[in-house]
């Protein structure tokens, strides 16, 4: 499993007066996709946070191509694109229910220590061999050129 797909039904309160989804909703949708992928990979965010860690967003980029409206379904494909010693990068491809490309996005997260404020020396500090398991699931980089 290199990615996770979820479908979100657009609610009325997420849209503007014309019924179009407001751009500020997309990071929330992306977080839902990332959370579901990490859950499938058994990355326990609560365990990480309980042990004094924090997962911080350091980069967020979204390119929009097609509007989504109230009542539409938004399909989000979330992919773990890269993992380093203390960072994880995700890519999101979003389509509406008829297959129109709605948006492409990426996020980078930094894993750090709340106490010291320093980057974790390695994700293995908190998750043992999980870093290697996650690396097995990293999608080939060439698929996401131009994001």
What pLDDT does 84 receive?
79
Q: Does domain 3-136 have CATH number 3.40.309.10?
A: no
Q: Is 9 helix (H, G, I), strand (E, B) or coil?
A: strand
Mean pLDDT, contiguous 10-residue spans, the chain (147 residues): 87 92 96 91 80 88 96 95 84 96 95 74 55 59 48
Query: Rounded CA gap, 69 and 100, in Å?
Result: 13
What pLDDT does 142 receive?
39
What pLDDT does 123 receive?
59
Residue-range domain boundaries for the chain: 3-136
CA-nearest of 78, 61, 66, 59 to 21 is 66
Q: Is 97 helix (H, G, I), strand (E, B) or coil?
A: coil
Number of H helices, E strands in the chain: 4, 5
What pLDDT does 138 receive?
61
Q: What residues contact 32, with CB distance under 8 A and at least 6 apart?
A: 6, 8, 76
> Which region holds residue 68: left if phi is over 0, alpha if psi is between -120 and 50, else beta?
beta
What pLDDT does 116 receive?
73
């Amino acid at each position: 499993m290199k990615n996770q797909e979820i479908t979100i039904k657009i609610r009325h309160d997420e849209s503007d007066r014309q019924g179009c989804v407001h751009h500020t909703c997309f990071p929330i949708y992306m977080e839902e996709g990332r959370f579901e992928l990490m859950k499938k990979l058994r990355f326990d965010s609560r365990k990480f946070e309980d042990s004094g860690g924090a997962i911080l967003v350091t980069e967020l980029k979204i390119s929009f191509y097609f509007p989504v409206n109230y009542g539409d379904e938004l399909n989000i494909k979330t992919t773990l694109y890269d993992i380093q010693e203390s960072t994880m990068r995700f890519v999101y491809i979003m389509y509406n229910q008829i297959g129109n490309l709605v948006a492409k996005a990426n996020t980078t997260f930094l894993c750090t220590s709340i106490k010291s404020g320093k980057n974790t020396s390695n994700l293995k500090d908190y998750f043992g061999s999980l870093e290697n398991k996650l690396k097995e699931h990293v999608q080939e980089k060439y698929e996401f050129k131009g994001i």
